Structure formats: structure tokens, C-alpha cells
Amino acid sequence: MTTLVGLGYDIHRFSETERPLWLGGVQVHPTKGLAGHSDADVLCHALADAILGAIGEPDIGYWFPPGDDSCKNICSLRIVEKAVELLQAQGGRVVNVDCALIAEAPKIMPFVQQMKETLAPILGVATRRVGVKATTNEKLGALGRREGMAAFATVAVQVPDED
């Protein structure tokens, strides 16, 4: 097996209308969500792009186009599932993931364990192989002004050696 590494990033502004805030497949707030065509879960989007990047597949916009009405308000866990399906189609598996959320608010720590427990079975790894952490932007820029949230994700995957 060969180990590959992928990096994903996503950013969304906060919605001007009331909608839930989803992070890592967990509802963190009932009305102060992010704007986006899907449920705008920045953590799931970054994670899916990390997996897709590791295996040389196009990003999530290719698989779930923003103009496609069938993707409207889709649960972003489905996006992660698709990335894992594409990895598995190559004979691969996730080894571990590490994610970082960047936001001034809300506090993420109360939800981290639930995020890990939600993502681990989809990824096919033990909960301890899913890293989720958060930091602020130290009140700098748009994220510091609480205009939105961003996430980074790094993933290690194993795929069969190429002949």
C-alpha cells in the first residue's frame, strides 16, 4: 500500500437568513448558520476535498455543482460519503484525518467529541483517528469580524501500490 496525503480548505460567510449551523455533521446552533448551496458545513467540505485531493479526483464542486438543484441543502455528510466511496473504488482507505475550524464564535469544544463520533464511521476509522480542533482568527480580517467560518483538513489515506 502507498500512503497519500490530502489537504482541504473551505470558507463560508454567515447566512443573512436563519438556518442551522452544521459543523462536522453536528448541529452547533439552530439559527446562526452559514450561507451555501448545501448545508454549508465547512468542516465536511474541507474534509471531502482533502480526501478527493489525496486520490487525484476533482473537488466537491465537480461532484456536487452549486448550480444543481438536486444538491440544494444537501447534508454535507453525503459529500464526505461520496469522497470515501471514490477512495474505496480505488481500493483505498482512510488512515486518519485532522481538521481545524477557524471562527471567533461559537465555541466549538462542546461539540468536538460528537463531531468525531459522527465522522469516524463514515470515514471507516476509530474515533481516535479523527482530529477536530478550533482556533480564532485573533479578530483579524473577515473571520475575525465574525463574518464567517473556515476549515482546513488534512487526511492520510492508503491505496494499493501502482504497478
pLDDT reported for residue 67:
86
Predicted local confidence at residue 66, as pLDDT: 87
Q: Which fold has domain 2-159?
A: 60s Ribosomal Protein L30; Chain: A; (3.30.1330)
pLDDT at 43: 98
Q: What is the pLDDT of residues 135-144, one digit of tens each?
A: 999 999 999 9
Domain definitions of the chain by residue range: 2-159
Is residue 93 within 8 Å of residue 124, measured between CB atoms?
yes
DSSP state of 127: G
Given a cut of 90, is residue 104 above it in pLDDT? yes
Instruction: Check: CB of residue 130 under 8 Å from CB of residue 96.
Output: yes
Q: Locate the DSSP E strands across the chain.
A: 2-13, 21-23, 26-29, 93-102, 130-135, 148-159
Please check whether residue 159 is in contact with residue 6, taking contact to mean a CB–CB distance below 8 angstroms: no
What would the pLDDT profile of 30-68 be if each residue is shown by its tens digit? 899 999 999 999 999 999 999 999 999 999 999 999 888
